[in-house]
Amino acid sequence: MKLNDAVLGAVFCALGLWIVLYSAGLPKPRHLSYGPGLFPTLMGAGLIVCGGIQTIAGLLRWRSAPIVERPAWLGHRRLILNLAVIPAACLFYYVAADRLGFLFTGLTILVVMLVVGGVAPLRAAIVGLVMIVVVTMIFASILHVPLPWGVLAPISGQFIW
């Protein structure tokens, strides 16, 4: 179902505000001026700004657009699969990340999402491998976010660049 932009924008604003308030309470490391709350704060601020823009756009079209409508793409199985893979990936990460580690779990999620999206499997594997290494370098080495190592825990010190 498609909600009117004013309603959905207000939900995004509320979600962004909650993220900003929650991430403000995350402890900062003593040796850094930023900590694990930086990225969520930026994302929350972005949600507030984009949600505000979407709310204003929805209010301008309030009389001409229905509050709830069924979008045409719900009739296409491929598009429903594209949507379903997102919560499935989140659930898979929640279940598997501690056991497999961020590298293997993230790689699996990226490859599956790319293949479902229509990318050739070999290209998806290459892109997924490059992206997971880049993301790991950014989060673990630059932002100092502790990522689960899973099966790579015995040799994890060699992967911090």
Confidence class for position 107, pLDDT limits 50, 70, 90: very high
Is the pTM above the cut of 0.85?
A: no
* Mean of per-residue pLDDT scores for the chain: 89
Residue 97 pLDDT > 80 = yes
> Kind and range of the H or E element at 17?
helix 5-24
- Helix segments in 101-151, DSSP class H: 102-116, 121-136
Residue 93 pLDDT > 70 = yes
What's the confidence (pLDDT) of residue 71?
A: 80
Q: What is the mean pLDDT of residues 23-49?
A: 88
What's the confidence (pLDDT) of residue 144?
A: 81
What's the confidence (pLDDT) of residue 28?
A: 80
What's the confidence (pLDDT) of residue 9?
A: 94
What's the confidence (pLDDT) of residue 151?
A: 87
Report helix, strand or coil for 69.
Answer: strand
Query: What is the distance between the alpha carbons of residues 85 and 99, in angstroms, rounded to a whole number?
Result: 21
Residue 143 pLDDT > 60 = yes
